[in-house]
Protein backbone atom coordinates (compact mmCIF):
# COMPACT_ATOMS: atom_id res chain seq x y z
CA UNK A 1 0.00 0.00 0.00
CA UNK A 2 1.43 3.37 -1.01
CA UNK A 3 1.28 6.26 1.46
CA UNK A 4 1.53 10.04 1.20
CA UNK A 5 4.96 11.59 1.61
CA UNK A 6 5.19 14.36 4.22
CA UNK A 7 8.21 15.76 6.03
CA UNK A 8 10.68 13.33 4.47
CA UNK A 9 8.75 10.12 5.27
CA UNK A 10 5.77 8.06 4.13
CA UNK A 11 2.93 8.80 6.55
CA UNK A 12 0.00 6.49 7.27
CA UNK A 13 -3.50 7.86 7.79
CA UNK A 14 -5.38 4.71 8.78
CA UNK A 15 -8.76 6.42 8.85
CA UNK A 16 -8.50 7.77 5.30
CA UNK A 17 -10.53 6.10 2.55
CA UNK A 18 -8.29 4.05 0.18
CA UNK A 19 -8.29 4.84 -3.50
CA UNK A 20 -7.52 1.94 -5.87
CA UNK A 21 -5.05 2.57 -8.71
CA UNK A 22 -5.81 0.38 -11.73
CA UNK A 23 -3.81 -0.63 -14.77
CA UNK A 24 -5.48 0.96 -17.84
CA UNK A 25 -4.36 -1.95 -20.06
CA UNK A 26 -6.30 -4.62 -18.14
CA UNK A 27 -8.22 -2.99 -15.29
CA UNK A 28 -6.25 -4.91 -12.66
CA UNK A 29 -5.45 -3.25 -9.33
CA UNK A 30 -1.88 -1.98 -9.04
CA UNK A 31 -1.95 -0.47 -5.54
CA UNK A 32 -4.00 1.82 -3.32
CA UNK A 33 -3.35 5.29 -1.89
CA UNK A 34 -5.21 7.31 0.75
CA UNK A 35 -7.75 9.87 -0.38
CA UNK A 36 -6.70 12.67 1.96
CA UNK A 37 -8.62 15.74 3.05
CA UNK A 38 -7.89 19.26 4.22
CA UNK A 39 -6.32 18.17 7.56
CA UNK A 40 -3.62 16.06 5.86
CA UNK A 41 -3.02 18.74 3.25
CA UNK A 42 -2.50 21.18 6.12
CA UNK A 43 0.15 18.85 7.62
CA UNK A 44 1.97 18.68 4.30
CA UNK A 45 1.90 22.44 3.78
CA UNK A 46 3.09 23.08 7.34
CA UNK A 47 5.90 20.63 6.86
CA UNK A 48 6.94 22.50 3.71
CA UNK A 49 6.65 25.81 5.57
CA UNK A 50 8.85 24.49 8.41
CA UNK A 51 11.48 23.34 5.93
CA UNK A 52 11.45 26.60 4.00
CA UNK A 53 13.76 28.87 6.09
CA UNK A 54 16.66 26.39 6.14
CA UNK A 55 16.27 25.55 2.44
CA UNK A 56 16.06 29.24 1.53
CA UNK A 57 19.23 29.92 3.52
CA UNK A 58 21.15 27.03 1.97
CA UNK A 59 23.58 28.56 -0.56
CA UNK A 60 22.11 28.30 -4.05
CA UNK A 61 25.11 26.35 -5.32
CA UNK A 62 24.60 23.80 -2.56
CA UNK A 63 20.90 23.54 -3.38
CA UNK A 64 21.92 22.80 -6.95
CA UNK A 65 24.32 20.06 -5.81
CA UNK A 66 21.64 18.44 -3.64
CA UNK A 67 19.12 18.55 -6.48
CA UNK A 68 21.68 17.10 -8.90
CA UNK A 69 22.36 14.18 -6.54
CA UNK A 70 18.64 13.60 -5.99
CA UNK A 71 18.05 13.57 -9.75
CA UNK A 72 20.83 10.99 -10.10
CA UNK A 73 19.08 8.76 -7.58
CA UNK A 74 15.95 8.84 -9.74
CA UNK A 75 17.94 7.96 -12.86
CA UNK A 76 19.47 5.02 -11.01
CA UNK A 77 15.99 3.51 -10.61
CA UNK A 78 14.86 4.28 -14.16
CA UNK A 79 13.84 0.72 -15.02
CA UNK A 80 11.75 0.23 -11.89
CA UNK A 81 10.14 3.67 -12.17
CA UNK A 82 9.30 3.21 -15.86
CA UNK A 83 7.55 -0.08 -15.11
CA UNK A 84 5.57 1.56 -12.30
CA UNK A 85 4.61 4.46 -14.57
CA UNK A 86 3.42 2.09 -17.31
CA UNK A 87 1.37 0.11 -14.80
CA UNK A 88 -0.54 3.15 -13.52
CA UNK A 89 -0.64 5.29 -16.68
CA UNK A 90 -0.74 2.77 -19.52
CA UNK A 91 1.92 4.23 -21.84
CA UNK A 92 4.39 1.92 -23.60
CA UNK A 93 7.49 1.10 -21.54
CA UNK A 94 9.70 2.86 -24.08
CA UNK A 95 7.72 6.10 -23.59
CA UNK A 96 7.73 5.63 -19.81
CA UNK A 97 11.54 5.39 -19.86
CA UNK A 98 11.67 8.52 -21.99
CA UNK A 99 9.39 10.32 -19.58
CA UNK A 100 11.46 9.47 -16.49
CA UNK A 101 14.63 10.48 -18.36
CA UNK A 102 13.04 13.82 -19.26
CA UNK A 103 12.11 14.35 -15.60
CA UNK A 104 15.71 13.76 -14.53
CA UNK A 105 17.02 15.94 -17.34
CA UNK A 106 14.81 18.85 -16.28
CA UNK A 107 15.91 18.59 -12.64
CA UNK A 108 19.55 18.52 -13.76
CA UNK A 109 18.96 21.50 -16.02
CA UNK A 110 17.71 23.61 -13.10
CA UNK A 111 20.33 22.22 -10.70
CA UNK A 112 22.92 23.46 -13.21
CA UNK A 113 21.42 26.95 -13.18
CA UNK A 114 21.67 27.28 -9.39
CA UNK A 115 24.82 29.37 -9.45
CA UNK A 116 23.32 31.75 -11.98
CA UNK A 117 20.56 33.05 -9.73
CA UNK A 118 21.17 36.75 -9.38
CA UNK A 119 19.55 40.09 -8.81
CA UNK A 120 20.65 43.57 -9.86
CA UNK A 121 22.44 46.76 -8.91
CA UNK A 122 21.44 50.29 -10.01
CA UNK A 123 23.99 53.04 -9.23
CA UNK A 124 23.33 56.74 -8.59
CA UNK A 125 19.60 56.70 -7.98
CA UNK A 126 20.08 59.96 -6.17
CA UNK A 127 23.09 61.58 -4.70
CA UNK A 128 24.72 58.94 -2.51
CA UNK A 129 21.93 56.42 -3.14
CA UNK A 130 21.97 53.21 -5.07
CA UNK A 131 19.48 50.41 -5.61
CA UNK A 132 19.62 46.65 -5.35
CA UNK A 133 17.17 44.26 -6.92
CA UNK A 134 16.76 41.14 -4.80
CA UNK A 135 15.42 37.88 -6.16
CA UNK A 136 13.94 35.81 -3.36
CA UNK A 137 12.04 32.56 -3.13
CA UNK A 138 8.30 32.75 -2.52
CA UNK A 139 7.91 30.14 0.23
CA UNK A 140 5.62 27.13 -0.10
CA UNK A 141 4.58 26.27 -3.63
CA UNK A 142 1.73 23.93 -4.61
CA UNK A 143 2.12 21.79 -7.76
CA UNK A 144 -0.99 20.19 -9.31
CA UNK A 145 -0.24 17.71 -12.07
CA UNK A 146 -2.40 15.67 -14.51
CA UNK A 147 -2.19 12.00 -15.42
CA UNK A 148 -0.83 12.15 -18.97
CA UNK A 149 2.80 12.95 -18.06
CA UNK A 150 2.76 12.61 -14.27
CA UNK A 151 6.51 13.00 -13.78
CA UNK A 152 7.76 15.38 -16.47
CA UNK A 153 5.00 17.87 -15.68
CA UNK A 154 6.01 17.62 -12.03
CA UNK A 155 9.68 18.18 -12.93
CA UNK A 156 8.80 21.42 -14.72
CA UNK A 157 7.63 22.78 -11.38
CA UNK A 158 9.89 20.97 -8.93
CA UNK A 159 13.18 21.92 -10.64
CA UNK A 160 12.79 25.70 -10.74
CA UNK A 161 10.87 25.83 -7.43
CA UNK A 162 13.53 23.97 -5.42
CA UNK A 163 16.56 25.57 -7.00
CA UNK A 164 15.10 29.03 -6.36
CA UNK A 165 14.81 28.10 -2.66
CA UNK A 166 11.10 27.27 -2.33
CA UNK A 167 9.62 24.15 -0.79
CA UNK A 168 6.84 22.27 -2.51
CA UNK A 169 3.70 20.18 -1.99
CA UNK A 170 2.65 18.16 -5.04
CA UNK A 171 -0.83 16.78 -5.79
CA UNK A 172 -0.62 14.23 -8.61
CA UNK A 173 -3.77 13.17 -10.48
CA UNK A 174 -6.01 10.73 -8.60
CA UNK A 175 -5.18 7.94 -11.05
CA UNK A 176 -1.37 8.40 -11.28
CA UNK A 177 0.18 9.08 -7.87
CA UNK A 178 2.47 6.04 -7.52
CA UNK A 179 5.57 7.04 -9.50
CA UNK A 180 5.57 10.50 -7.91
CA UNK A 181 5.39 9.00 -4.40
CA UNK A 182 8.29 6.66 -5.14
CA UNK A 183 10.36 9.50 -6.62
CA UNK A 184 9.81 11.66 -3.53
CA UNK A 185 11.23 8.88 -1.33
CA UNK A 186 14.24 8.38 -3.59
CA UNK A 187 15.06 12.07 -3.72
CA UNK A 188 14.96 12.41 0.07
CA UNK A 189 17.06 9.28 0.61
CA UNK A 190 19.59 10.98 -1.68
CA UNK A 191 19.81 14.08 0.48
CA UNK A 192 16.87 16.40 -0.18
CA UNK A 193 15.97 17.78 3.26
CA UNK A 194 12.78 16.62 4.98
CA UNK A 195 9.82 18.80 4.03
CA UNK A 196 11.36 20.23 0.86
CA UNK A 197 9.17 18.08 -1.40
CA UNK A 198 5.91 16.57 -0.11
CA UNK A 199 3.29 14.56 -1.98
CA UNK A 200 -0.39 14.28 -1.08
CA UNK A 201 -2.89 12.02 -2.81
CA UNK A 202 -6.62 12.20 -3.39
CA UNK A 203 -9.27 14.04 -5.35
CA UNK A 204 -8.54 17.31 -7.07
CA UNK A 205 -11.83 18.76 -5.86
CA UNK A 206 -10.88 18.03 -2.21
CA UNK A 207 -7.11 17.70 -1.70
CA UNK A 208 -6.24 19.87 -4.72
CA UNK A 209 -8.65 22.55 -3.65
CA UNK A 210 -7.38 22.49 -0.04
CA UNK A 211 -3.84 22.95 -1.36
CA UNK A 212 -4.76 25.92 -3.55
CA UNK A 213 -6.75 27.56 -0.77
CA UNK A 214 -4.20 26.97 2.01
CA UNK A 215 -3.11 30.36 3.39
CA UNK A 216 0.57 29.34 3.59
CA UNK A 217 0.76 28.43 -0.12
CA UNK A 218 2.14 31.39 -2.02
CA UNK A 219 1.98 30.09 -5.56
CA UNK A 220 0.33 27.28 -7.52
CA UNK A 221 1.90 25.69 -10.55
CA UNK A 222 -0.94 23.92 -12.37
CA UNK A 223 -1.05 21.73 -15.46
CA UNK A 224 -4.41 20.41 -16.56
CA UNK A 225 -7.55 21.23 -18.45
CA UNK A 226 -8.65 24.75 -19.27
CA UNK A 227 -11.89 24.62 -17.19
CA UNK A 228 -10.05 23.44 -14.05
CA UNK A 229 -7.29 26.00 -14.72
CA UNK A 230 -9.90 28.75 -14.66
CA UNK A 231 -11.25 27.55 -11.33
CA UNK A 232 -7.71 27.40 -9.88
CA UNK A 233 -7.20 30.99 -10.94
CA UNK A 234 -10.48 32.00 -9.31
CA UNK A 235 -9.56 30.23 -6.05
CA UNK A 236 -6.07 31.74 -6.06
CA UNK A 237 -7.51 35.20 -6.63
CA UNK A 238 -9.06 35.16 -3.14
CA UNK A 239 -5.59 35.61 -1.60
CA UNK A 240 -3.91 37.02 -4.73
CA UNK A 241 -1.68 33.96 -4.99
CA UNK A 242 0.47 33.59 -8.00
CA UNK A 243 -0.44 30.96 -10.58
CA UNK A 244 1.26 29.39 -13.55
CA UNK A 245 -1.31 27.65 -15.74
CA UNK A 246 -0.35 25.16 -18.44
CA UNK A 247 -3.69 24.20 -19.99
CA UNK A 248 -5.27 22.56 -23.01
CA UNK A 249 -4.28 22.96 -26.63
CA UNK A 250 -5.31 22.22 -30.21
CA UNK A 251 -2.05 22.65 -32.10
CA UNK A 252 -2.24 23.20 -35.87
CA UNK A 253 0.36 21.81 -38.28
CA UNK A 254 0.54 23.44 -41.71
CA UNK A 255 2.16 21.64 -44.65
CA UNK A 256 2.98 23.95 -47.59
CA UNK A 257 3.38 22.80 -51.18
CA UNK A 258 7.20 23.08 -51.02
CA UNK A 259 7.59 21.03 -47.84
CA UNK A 260 9.65 17.92 -47.12
CA UNK A 261 6.61 15.64 -47.13
CA UNK A 262 8.33 12.67 -45.51
CA UNK A 263 9.61 14.80 -42.63
CA UNK A 264 6.23 16.49 -42.20
CA UNK A 265 4.33 13.17 -42.25
CA UNK A 266 6.64 11.81 -39.60
CA UNK A 267 6.18 14.95 -37.43
CA UNK A 268 2.40 14.69 -37.81
CA UNK A 269 2.34 11.01 -36.88
CA UNK A 270 4.64 11.29 -33.85
CA UNK A 271 3.12 14.62 -32.87
CA UNK A 272 -0.39 13.17 -32.84
CA UNK A 273 0.02 9.58 -31.67
CA UNK A 274 2.77 9.84 -29.01
CA UNK A 275 1.32 8.99 -25.58
CA UNK A 276 -1.79 7.72 -27.42
CA UNK A 277 -2.60 11.32 -28.34
CA UNK A 278 -3.04 12.29 -24.69
CA UNK A 279 -0.77 15.30 -24.68
CA UNK A 280 -1.44 18.98 -24.28
CA UNK A 281 1.21 19.73 -26.84
CA UNK A 282 0.25 17.55 -29.79
CA UNK A 283 -0.58 17.96 -33.45
CA UNK A 284 -4.37 18.14 -33.23
CA UNK A 285 -5.30 19.82 -36.55
CA UNK A 286 -3.63 19.33 -39.90
CA UNK A 287 -3.84 21.91 -42.74
CA UNK A 288 -2.49 20.76 -46.11
CA UNK A 289 -1.88 22.88 -49.19
CA UNK A 290 -4.20 21.48 -51.83
CA UNK A 291 -1.43 20.64 -54.32
CA UNK A 292 0.37 18.19 -52.01
CA UNK A 293 -2.64 16.96 -50.02
CA UNK A 294 -3.05 13.58 -51.72
CA UNK A 295 0.67 12.79 -51.71
CA UNK A 296 0.93 13.76 -48.05
CA UNK A 297 -2.14 11.80 -46.99
CA UNK A 298 -0.78 8.67 -48.73
CA UNK A 299 2.41 8.94 -46.69
CA UNK A 300 0.56 9.55 -43.44
CA UNK A 301 -1.88 6.68 -43.96
CA UNK A 302 1.08 4.35 -44.60
CA UNK A 303 2.78 5.51 -41.40
CA UNK A 304 -0.33 5.11 -39.31
CA UNK A 305 -0.83 1.58 -40.64
CA UNK A 306 2.54 0.67 -39.08
CA UNK A 307 1.59 1.84 -35.55
CA UNK A 308 0.98 -1.00 -33.13
CA UNK A 309 -1.74 -0.79 -30.50
CA UNK A 310 -1.51 -2.89 -27.35
CA UNK A 311 -0.52 -3.13 -23.67
CA UNK A 312 2.44 -0.88 -22.89
CA UNK A 313 4.45 -3.79 -21.51
CA UNK A 314 4.50 -5.69 -24.84
CA UNK A 315 7.46 -5.36 -27.21
CA UNK A 316 7.04 -3.09 -30.22
CA UNK A 317 3.88 -1.34 -29.02
CA UNK A 318 3.59 2.30 -30.10
CA UNK A 319 0.12 3.10 -28.74
CA UNK A 320 -1.00 1.98 -25.32
CA UNK A 321 -4.60 2.21 -24.12
CA UNK A 322 -6.35 5.47 -23.38
CA UNK A 323 -5.94 6.22 -19.72
CA UNK A 324 -9.63 5.96 -18.77
CA UNK A 325 -12.88 4.54 -20.13
CA UNK A 326 -14.33 8.05 -20.04
CA UNK A 327 -11.44 9.36 -22.13
CA UNK A 328 -12.17 6.77 -24.80
CA UNK A 329 -15.88 7.57 -24.77
CA UNK A 330 -15.10 11.26 -25.31
CA UNK A 331 -12.93 10.39 -28.30
CA UNK A 332 -15.62 8.13 -29.73
CA UNK A 333 -18.21 10.90 -29.39
CA UNK A 334 -15.90 13.37 -31.15
CA UNK A 335 -15.26 10.93 -34.02
CA UNK A 336 -19.00 10.26 -34.37
CA UNK A 337 -19.64 14.00 -34.48
CA UNK A 338 -16.95 14.44 -37.17
CA UNK A 339 -18.35 11.62 -39.31
CA UNK A 340 -21.83 13.11 -38.98
CA UNK A 341 -20.21 16.38 -40.07
CA UNK A 342 -19.00 14.82 -43.32
CA UNK A 343 -15.56 13.45 -42.39
CA UNK A 344 -14.16 10.53 -44.36
CA UNK A 345 -12.40 7.99 -42.10
CA UNK A 346 -8.98 7.31 -43.69
CA UNK A 347 -7.73 5.08 -40.86
CA UNK A 348 -9.01 3.69 -37.57
CA UNK A 349 -12.23 5.16 -36.23
CA UNK A 350 -12.97 2.21 -33.95
CA UNK A 351 -11.80 0.04 -31.05
CA UNK A 352 -9.41 -2.75 -32.02
CA UNK A 353 -10.89 -6.21 -31.60
CA UNK A 354 -9.41 -9.41 -30.16
CA UNK A 355 -8.56 -10.89 -26.77
CA UNK A 356 -5.62 -8.56 -26.28
CA UNK A 357 -7.90 -5.54 -26.25
CA UNK A 358 -10.93 -6.68 -24.28
CA UNK A 359 -9.95 -5.37 -20.87
CA UNK A 360 -8.25 -2.03 -21.71
CA UNK A 361 -9.41 1.26 -23.17
CA UNK A 362 -7.79 0.79 -26.57
CA UNK A 363 -8.62 2.84 -29.68
CA UNK A 364 -7.15 2.67 -33.17
CA UNK A 365 -5.09 5.60 -34.48
CA UNK A 366 -7.57 7.55 -36.56
CA UNK A 367 -7.34 9.96 -39.50
CA UNK A 368 -10.39 12.02 -40.51
CA UNK A 369 -10.51 13.91 -43.81
CA UNK A 370 -12.45 17.17 -44.08
CA UNK A 371 -14.92 17.18 -41.19
CA UNK A 372 -16.97 20.37 -41.20
CA UNK A 373 -14.95 23.25 -39.87
CA UNK A 374 -17.30 23.78 -36.96
CA UNK A 375 -17.27 20.13 -35.83
CA UNK A 376 -15.97 19.22 -32.38
CA UNK A 377 -12.60 17.98 -33.65
CA UNK A 378 -12.01 21.46 -35.07
CA UNK A 379 -13.21 23.51 -32.10
CA UNK A 380 -12.53 21.36 -29.00
CA UNK A 381 -9.41 19.72 -27.66
CA UNK A 382 -9.09 16.11 -28.90
CA UNK A 383 -7.27 14.20 -26.17
CA UNK A 384 -6.66 10.90 -27.93
CA UNK A 385 -5.33 9.31 -31.15
CA UNK A 386 -7.49 11.18 -33.67
CA UNK A 387 -6.23 13.61 -36.30
CA UNK A 388 -8.56 15.73 -38.45
CA UNK A 389 -7.20 16.91 -41.82
CA UNK A 390 -8.26 19.85 -43.98
CA UNK A 391 -7.06 21.12 -47.37
CA UNK A 392 -6.31 24.84 -47.75
CA UNK A 393 -5.70 27.14 -50.71
CA UNK A 394 -2.79 29.18 -49.36
CA UNK A 395 -0.85 30.28 -46.31
CA UNK A 396 -3.32 33.02 -45.42
CA UNK A 397 -6.19 30.57 -45.22
CA UNK A 398 -4.03 28.11 -43.27
CA UNK A 399 -3.04 30.71 -40.68
CA UNK A 400 -6.57 32.07 -40.39
CA UNK A 401 -7.89 28.57 -39.67
CA UNK A 402 -4.96 27.73 -37.39
CA UNK A 403 -5.73 30.80 -35.30
CA UNK A 404 -9.49 30.18 -35.22
CA UNK A 405 -9.24 28.39 -31.89
CA UNK A 406 -9.63 29.39 -28.28
CA UNK A 407 -6.31 27.61 -27.68
CA UNK A 408 -2.77 28.77 -28.42
CA UNK A 409 -0.25 26.26 -27.12
CA UNK A 410 1.94 24.91 -29.96
CA UNK A 411 1.95 25.25 -33.75
CA UNK A 412 4.04 23.97 -36.67
CA UNK A 413 4.76 24.79 -40.27
CA UNK A 414 6.62 22.80 -42.90
CA UNK A 415 8.01 24.82 -45.81
CA UNK A 416 11.37 25.43 -47.50
CA UNK A 417 10.51 29.10 -48.06
CA UNK A 418 12.08 31.38 -45.45
CA UNK A 419 9.54 34.13 -46.07
CA UNK A 420 6.61 31.80 -45.49
CA UNK A 421 8.24 30.35 -42.38
CA UNK A 422 9.00 33.69 -40.76
CA UNK A 423 5.58 35.10 -41.72
CA UNK A 424 3.95 32.12 -40.00
CA UNK A 425 6.22 32.32 -36.94
CA UNK A 426 5.15 35.92 -36.40
CA UNK A 427 1.43 35.34 -36.97
CA UNK A 428 0.59 31.95 -35.48
CA UNK A 429 -1.08 32.61 -32.12
CA UNK A 430 0.78 30.11 -29.97
CA UNK A 431 3.46 29.91 -27.32
CA UNK A 432 5.71 27.79 -29.57
CA UNK A 433 6.18 27.44 -33.34
CA UNK A 434 8.21 24.61 -34.84
CA UNK A 435 9.49 25.15 -38.38
CA UNK A 436 10.42 21.96 -40.24
CA UNK A 437 10.89 20.28 -36.89
CA UNK A 438 8.96 17.71 -34.92
CA UNK A 439 7.20 19.15 -31.88
CA UNK A 440 9.68 18.69 -29.11
CA UNK A 441 10.10 20.58 -25.86
CA UNK A 442 13.52 21.86 -24.83
CA UNK A 443 14.46 22.75 -21.27
CA UNK A 444 16.42 25.66 -22.72
CA UNK A 445 13.36 27.40 -24.22
CA UNK A 446 10.42 28.92 -22.32
CA UNK A 447 7.15 27.06 -22.84
CA UNK A 448 3.62 28.18 -22.15
CA UNK A 449 0.38 28.88 -23.97
CA UNK A 450 -1.37 32.02 -25.09
CA UNK A 451 -5.15 32.62 -25.22
CA UNK A 452 -6.96 29.89 -23.22
CA UNK A 453 -3.91 27.59 -23.21
CA UNK A 454 -2.45 29.19 -20.16
CA UNK A 455 -0.55 31.86 -18.32
CA UNK A 456 3.11 32.04 -17.44
CA UNK A 457 6.07 29.97 -18.59
CA UNK A 458 7.74 26.73 -17.66
CA UNK A 459 11.18 25.64 -18.90
CA UNK A 460 13.97 28.04 -19.81
CA UNK A 461 15.70 30.43 -17.42
CA UNK A 462 12.37 32.26 -17.58
CA UNK A 463 10.66 29.63 -15.39
CA UNK A 464 12.80 30.70 -12.43
CA UNK A 465 11.13 34.12 -12.42
CA UNK A 466 7.81 32.44 -11.75
CA UNK A 467 9.22 31.00 -8.50
CA UNK A 468 10.88 34.17 -7.20
CA UNK A 469 9.80 37.47 -5.76
CA UNK A 470 11.51 40.61 -7.02
CA UNK A 471 12.24 43.16 -4.34
CA UNK A 472 13.87 46.59 -4.59
CA UNK A 473 16.20 47.95 -1.94
CA UNK A 474 17.43 51.55 -1.78
CA UNK A 475 20.65 52.25 0.11
CA UNK A 476 21.66 55.81 0.92
CA UNK A 477 25.08 56.68 2.19
CA UNK A 478 25.33 59.24 4.98
CA UNK A 479 28.33 60.95 3.42
P1 LIG B 1 -7.75 18.14 -15.02
O2 LIG B 1 -7.74 19.62 -15.13
O3 LIG B 1 -9.03 17.45 -14.84
O4 LIG B 1 -6.81 17.67 -13.81
C5 LIG B 1 -5.51 18.16 -13.66
C6 LIG B 1 -5.14 18.13 -12.18
O7 LIG B 1 -5.97 19.05 -11.48
C8 LIG B 1 -5.34 16.77 -11.52
O9 LIG B 1 -4.31 16.56 -10.57
C10 LIG B 1 -6.67 16.96 -10.84
O11 LIG B 1 -6.83 16.10 -9.75
C12 LIG B 1 -6.58 18.39 -10.38
N13 LIG B 1 -7.87 19.02 -10.09
C14 LIG B 1 -9.07 18.74 -10.66
N15 LIG B 1 -10.04 19.53 -10.12
C16 LIG B 1 -9.43 20.34 -9.21
C17 LIG B 1 -9.87 21.37 -8.33
N18 LIG B 1 -11.14 21.77 -8.29
N19 LIG B 1 -8.97 21.98 -7.52
C20 LIG B 1 -7.67 21.62 -7.57
N21 LIG B 1 -7.18 20.64 -8.36
C22 LIG B 1 -8.03 20.01 -9.20
O23 LIG B 1 -6.98 17.69 -16.32
P24 LIG B 1 -6.81 16.22 -16.89
O25 LIG B 1 -6.39 15.32 -15.80
O26 LIG B 1 -8.02 15.91 -17.66
O27 LIG B 1 -5.54 16.44 -17.85
C28 LIG B 1 -5.65 16.65 -19.18
C29 LIG B 1 -5.64 18.13 -19.51
O30 LIG B 1 -4.40 18.69 -19.17
C31 LIG B 1 -5.80 18.41 -21.00
O32 LIG B 1 -6.68 19.48 -21.22
C33 LIG B 1 -4.40 18.80 -21.44
O34 LIG B 1 -4.34 19.58 -22.59
C35 LIG B 1 -3.89 19.48 -20.23
N36 LIG B 1 -2.45 19.44 -20.23
C37 LIG B 1 -1.77 20.63 -20.41
C38 LIG B 1 -0.39 20.64 -20.51
C39 LIG B 1 0.37 21.92 -20.70
O40 LIG B 1 1.55 21.95 -20.38
N41 LIG B 1 -0.24 22.98 -21.20
C42 LIG B 1 0.38 19.39 -20.43
C43 LIG B 1 -0.42 18.22 -20.23
C44 LIG B 1 -1.79 18.27 -20.12
P45 LIG B 1 -7.65 14.71 -9.89
O46 LIG B 1 -7.23 14.07 -11.14
O47 LIG B 1 -7.21 14.00 -8.69
O48 LIG B 1 -9.08 15.09 -9.86
pLDDT score for 197: 99
CA atoms within 13 A on the CB side of 106: 29
Taking the CB of residue 118, how many other CB atoms lie within 10 A of it? 9
Alpha helices in 167-285 (DSSP H): 178-189, 209-213, 226-237, 261-273
Does residue 408's CB lie within 6 angstroms of at least one atom of ligand 1?
no
- Is 198:48 a contact under the CB 8 Å cutoff? yes
- 3-class DSSP state for residue 71? helix
**In the chain, pLDDT over 70 holds for what percent of residues?**
100
User: What's the rounded mean pLDDT across residues 273-283?
Assistant: 96
**To test the ligand 1 pocket, which listed residue (202, 228, 323, 408) has its Cβ within 8 A of the most ligand atoms?**
228
CA atoms within 13 A on the CB side of 305: 7
User: What's the rounded mean pLDDT across residues 282-308?
Assistant: 98
pLDDT score for 71: 98
Encode pLDDT of 116-156 as tens digits. 999 999 999 999 999 999 999 999 999 999 999 999 999 99
Residue nearest to atom 32 of ligand 1 (CA): 225
CA–centroid distance, 144 to ligand 1, in Å, is 7
User: What's the rounded mean pLDDT across residues 238-244?
Assistant: 97
- φ, ψ for residue 71, nearest 5 deg: -65, -40
Taking the CB of residue 448, how many other CB atoms lie within 10 A of it? 23
**In the chain, pLDDT over 90 holds for what percent of residues?**
100
Point out the ligand 1 atom lying closest to the alpha carbon of residue 172.
9
- φ, ψ for residue 469, nearest 5 deg: -95, 145
Does residue 391's CB lie within 6 angstroms of at least one atom of ligand 1?
no
Point out the ligand 1 atom lying closest to the alpha carbon of residue 144.
9
Tell me the β-bridge partners of 285: 252
Q: Is 329 a catalytic residue?
A: no
Numbers of helices and strands, H then E, in the chain: 15, 20
CA–centroid distance, 443 to ligand 1, in Å, is 22
CA–centroid distance, 146 to ligand 1, in Å, is 4
Does residue 99's CB lie within 6 angstroms of at least one atom of ligand 1?
no
Does residue 327's CB lie within 6 angstroms of at least one atom of ligand 1?
no
Does residue 199's CB lie within 6 angstroms of at least one atom of ligand 1?
no
Does residue 144's CB lie within 6 angstroms of at least one atom of ligand 1?
yes
Q: Is the dihedral of CA 175, 198, 237, 149 positive or negative?
A: negative
Residue 458 pLDDT class (50, 70, 90 cuts): very high
Which residues lie closer than 8 Å to 16 by C-beta, 6 or more apart? Answer: 34, 35, 36, 37, 40
pLDDT score for 196: 98
Q: Is 246 a catalytic residue?
A: yes
Q: What is the pTM of this model?
A: 0.95
Residue nearest to atom 22 of ligand 1 (CA): 204
Residue nearest to atom 46 of ligand 1 (CA): 173
CA–centroid distance, 181 to ligand 1, in Å, is 18
Residue 478 scores a pLDDT above 90: no
Residue nearest to atom 6 of ligand 1 (CA): 146
Residue 102 scores a pLDDT above 80: yes
Residue nearest to atom 10 of ligand 1 (CA): 204
Residue 479 scores a pLDDT above 80: no
Amino acid sequence: MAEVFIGGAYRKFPRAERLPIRNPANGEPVDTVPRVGAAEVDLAVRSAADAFPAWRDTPAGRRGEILMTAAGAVRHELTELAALLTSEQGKPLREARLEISRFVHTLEHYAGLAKNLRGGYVPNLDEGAYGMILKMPLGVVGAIVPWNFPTTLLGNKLGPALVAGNTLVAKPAETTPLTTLRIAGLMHEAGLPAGAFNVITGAGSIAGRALVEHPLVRKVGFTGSTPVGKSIMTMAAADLKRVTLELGGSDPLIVCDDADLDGAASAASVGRFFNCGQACLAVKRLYLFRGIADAFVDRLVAKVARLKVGPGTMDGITLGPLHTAQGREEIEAQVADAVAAGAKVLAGGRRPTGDLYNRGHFYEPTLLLEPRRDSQVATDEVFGPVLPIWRVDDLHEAIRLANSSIFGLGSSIWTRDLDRASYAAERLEAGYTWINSPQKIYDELPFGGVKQSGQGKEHGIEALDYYMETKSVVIKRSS
